[in-house]
Amino acid sequence: MALGSYLVLDEPPVKADAVVVLGGDEFGMRTAKAAELVEAGYAPYVLLSGLPILLTHESELMLDFALKQGYPASLFQQYQHDASSTREEETLLAAELRRRGVHHTLLVTSNYHSRRATHLFHQIAPWLTVQTIDAPDRFFTPGSWWSTRRGRKTFVLE
């Protein structure tokens, strides 16, 4: 149990300039969590990060999901890129956040990805204050990750 919990970093939300959702939101849990934060007044908008997938961008699919869940389009902005790793994605995001004048962000990613993603952001953008909010993952539960093939695979890869 402790091994799975080590991967998770979940901090309390505070006021920020933007909520950033990293790509890889397979089931919309990151997007929904981010929308809830904006609706609760923690930030003015959600920045959806997404790479190309088939004939669109992942951020388009995330936005479509949010709209179908009843969230207004006004909560979201997209940042489309061609990154192929978390490090590349965060490097591009850091430049985009600087361009937008963002100094404090709420970072939303899956629970198993939260500690590593935060660590990378601190390395890449030390000027940026990052508060990490984890979103639950359908296949990774810190207390029982070993009980499913996908949970074991996620743990090993992370």
Side-chain half-sphere CA neighbours of 23 within 13 A = 25
pTM for the model: 0.93
Chain segment 14-69, per-residue pLDDT in tens: 999 999 999 988 899 999 999 999 999 999 999 999 888 888 899 999 999 999 99
Are the C-beta atoms of residues 117 and 158 closer than 8 Å to each other?
A: no
Average pLDDT of the residues in 68-74: 97
Ordered by where they begin, the domains of the chain are 2-157 (3.40.50.620)
